[in-house]
């Protein structure tokens, strides 16, 4: 592999707090050198040089929660289209959810997904295993064997383990293997039949609502079980102000708890459902302006550890239905960075924190060797223009499904190139970027 250097870039590394103009040298897939002193002198003789012209160079992004489509839902997404979307969004590592058909609840399935992803030689794909057999919440999966096969953690995806005794046993069992458990904080009995946030908008539209208490009651239960077992728990896609407060309190008490939020819950609210817009049919549902303010505050102060795309592809036939019958979810890999940069441009989030919640934070939660610019680290990198404006369109997306809740929205900030282990997986060199032999 030919060495290459990216010069004249704004280097952003949350771990070292680096924010400076400089360069980065890649040799044999790893970062050989970086910093303000790297200005093009003393480079290897055969080094390729890329002039970033002041654009931002950061650690490759890491996504905690992605649906790959395979096996069973190839009409919605495939592994190859998912990793293409991830690369276009600046992601170099993604964690696949186990709610496929059949579910990833045995070691052979874990190994199969990993093997198929490796053949693509693109974005790194890690796999969540099912917490219970068949994701049915009744019998624990073989967590020890799944961890041994390479699963990064266990979760039943968007299904809450309703039986508290089963959840207690799952956390206790996972703690023996130091295996991360991810939970969907939504009491199924309270949420049953609901299709959007319970409130005035739902009433006006004649739609059944999901009360905010469905989230907080489920979350409080699981936090108590963590207190009893000492297991590591990651709480997925929190949406309410009360959940932010509960996580903040749990961390203050020293519980081993982390959590994430999605870009769409940070930027959008229940009013997106007006007109019965099925692309805004999300699980958990979009909430209120008060909730969004609490989520942004929690993200800024460190209560919320990461932003996850919650990439959920749905084909057109699944969305072109009456609102209550439409499948929930939105694709998000290609818009996550731009959505978070909205908060930076608005002054709600510092630059370093924005990169941290998309790279270093998720990598830390999953214990991956990613999310940092440092000598010797894998050259998993994203180069982006923080000021380029672009409009989200279905035709511009790499995902097989095009169900984006941000359709028609103009963002400021766009990925130019992505490298995995020093290999370009998404080159998009435009005006102002130059390469030379």
Residue 287, pLDDT > 60, answer: yes
Task: Answer whether 123's CB lies under 8 Å from 92's CB.
Answer: yes
Q: Are residues 421 and 345 in the same domain?
A: no
Q: Are residues 39 and 97 in the same domain?
A: no
Length of the chain, in residues: 437
Rounded-to-integer distance, Cα 288 and Cα 300, Å: 19
Q: Are residues 25 and 80 in the same domain?
A: no
Question: Angle 137-189-172 (CA atoms, 0-180°, nearest 5)?
Answer: 35
Does residue 308 belong to any structural domain of this protein? yes
Does residue 371 belong to any structural domain of this protein? no
User: pLDDT-derived band of residue 264, with 50, 70 and 90 as boundaries?
Assistant: very high
Q: What is the mean pLDDT of residues 104-111?
A: 95
Q: Are residues 31 and 94 in the same domain?
A: no
CATH, residue 13: 2.30.40.10
Task: Answer whether 332's CB lies under 8 Å from 311's CB.
Answer: yes
- Looking at residue 45, its pLDDT comes to 87
User: What pLDDT digit, counting tens, does each position of 333-364 carry?
Assistant: 999 999 999 999 999 999 999 999 999 999 99
Does residue 291 belong to any structural domain of this protein? yes
**Residue 310 appears among annotated catalytic residues:** yes
Task: Answer whether 259's CB lies under 8 Å from 304's CB.
Answer: yes
Q: Are residues 219 and 352 in the same domain?
A: yes
- Looking at residue 430, its pLDDT comes to 42
Q: Are residues 49 and 67 in the same domain?
A: no
- Looking at residue 41, its pLDDT comes to 84
Does residue 392 belong to any structural domain of this protein? no
CATH, residue 248: 3.20.20.140
Q: Are residues 8 and 124 in the same domain?
A: no
Residue 26 φ then ψ, to 5°? -115, 125
User: What pLDDT digit, counting tens, does each position of 407-431 carry?
Assistant: 999 999 999 999 999 999 998 444 3
Q: Which residue has 């998404």 as its token pair?
A: 426
Q: What is the mean pLDDT of residues 64-82?
A: 97
**Is the CA virtual torsion 178, 179, 182, 187 positive or negative?**
negative
Q: Are residues 42 and 150 in the same domain?
A: no
Count of the separate structural domains present in the chain: 2
Does residue 173 belong to any structural domain of this protein? yes
Q: Which domain, by its residues, includes 248? A: 59-366
Strand partners of residue 127: 96
Peptide bond into 284 cis (omega under 30): yes
Q: Are residues 264 and 352 in the same domain?
A: yes
Does residue 96 belong to any structural domain of this protein? yes
Q: Are residues 127 and 228 in the same domain?
A: yes
Residue 97 CA: distances (Å) to CA of 71, 182, 257, 286, 291: 12, 10, 19, 21, 26
Does residue 162 belong to any structural domain of this protein? yes
Final residue of a structural domain among 366, 401, 420: 366
Final residue of a structural domain among 335, 366, 397: 366
| E runs forming strands in 118-274 | 124-130, 153-155, 181-183, 196-197, 209-210, 233-235, 257-261
Residue 435, pLDDT > 80, answer: no
Rounded-to-integer distance, Cα 400 and Cα 403, Å: 9
Task: Answer whether 182's CB lies under 8 Å from 234's CB.
Answer: yes
Which candidate in 310, 380, 385, 421 is catalytic? 310
Q: Which of 20-29, 39-48, 271-280, 290-299 has the lowest mean pLDDT?
A: 39-48
Q: Are residues 112 and 148 in the same domain?
A: yes
Q: Are residues 52 and 64 in the same domain?
A: no
Report the chain's mean pLDDT, rounded to a whole number: 96
Does residue 401 belong to any structural domain of this protein? no
């Amino acid at each position: 592999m030919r060495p290459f250097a990216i010069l004249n870039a704004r280097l952003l590394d949350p771990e070292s707090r680096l924010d400076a103009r400089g360069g980065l040298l890649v040799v044999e897939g790893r970062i050989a050198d970086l910093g303000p002193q790297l200005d093009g002198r003393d480079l290897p003789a055969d080094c390729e040089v890329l002039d970033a012209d002041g654009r931002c160079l950061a650690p490759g992004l890491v996504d905690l929660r992605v649906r790959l489509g395979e096996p069973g839902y190839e009409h919605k997404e495939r592994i190859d289209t998912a990793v293409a979307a991830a690369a276009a969004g600046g992601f170099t590592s993604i964690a696949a959810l186990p709610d496929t058909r059949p579910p990833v609840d045995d070691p052979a399935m874990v190994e199969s997904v990993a093997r198929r992803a490796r053949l693509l030689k693109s974005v790194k794909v890690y796999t969540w295993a099912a917490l219970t057999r068949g994701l049915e919440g009744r019998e624990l999966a073989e967590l020890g064997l799944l961890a041994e096969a390479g699963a990064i953690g266990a979760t039943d995806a968007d299904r809450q383990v309703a039986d508290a005794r089963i959840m207690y046993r799952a956390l206790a069992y996972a703690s023996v293997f130091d295996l991360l458990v991810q939970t969907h904080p939504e009491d199924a009995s309270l949420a049953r039949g609901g299709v959007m946030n319970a409130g005035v908008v739902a009433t006006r539209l004649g739609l059944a609502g999901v009360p905010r208490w469905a989230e907080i009651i489920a979350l409080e239960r699981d936090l108590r079980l963590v207190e009893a077992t000492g297991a590591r728990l990651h709480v997925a896609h929190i949406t309410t102000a009360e959940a932010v407060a509960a996580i903040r309190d749990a961390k203050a008490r020293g519980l081993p708890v982390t959590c994430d939020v999605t870009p769409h819950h940070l930027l959008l609210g229940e009013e997106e459902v007006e007109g019965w817009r099925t692309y805004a049919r999300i699980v958990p549902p979009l909430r209120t302006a008060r909730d969004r303010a609490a989520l942004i505050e929690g993200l800024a102060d460190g209560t919320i550890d990461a932003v996850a795309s919650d990439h959920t592809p749905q084909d057109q036939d699944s969305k072109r239905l009456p609102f209550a019958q439409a499948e929930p979810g939105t694709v998000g890999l290609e818009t996550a960075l731009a959505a978070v940069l909205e908060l930076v441009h608005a002054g709600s989030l510092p630059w370093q924190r924005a990169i941290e919640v998309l790279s270093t934070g998720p990598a830390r939660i999953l214990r991956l060797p990613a999310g940092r610019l440092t000598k010797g680290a894998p050259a998993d990198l994203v180069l982006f223009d923080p000021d380029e404006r672009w409009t989200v369109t279905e035709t511009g997306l790499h995902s097989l499904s095009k169900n984006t809740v941000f359709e028609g929205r103009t963002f400021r900030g766009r990925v130019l190139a992505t490298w995995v282990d020093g290999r370009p997986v998404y080159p998009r060199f435009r005006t102002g970027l130059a390469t030379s032999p």
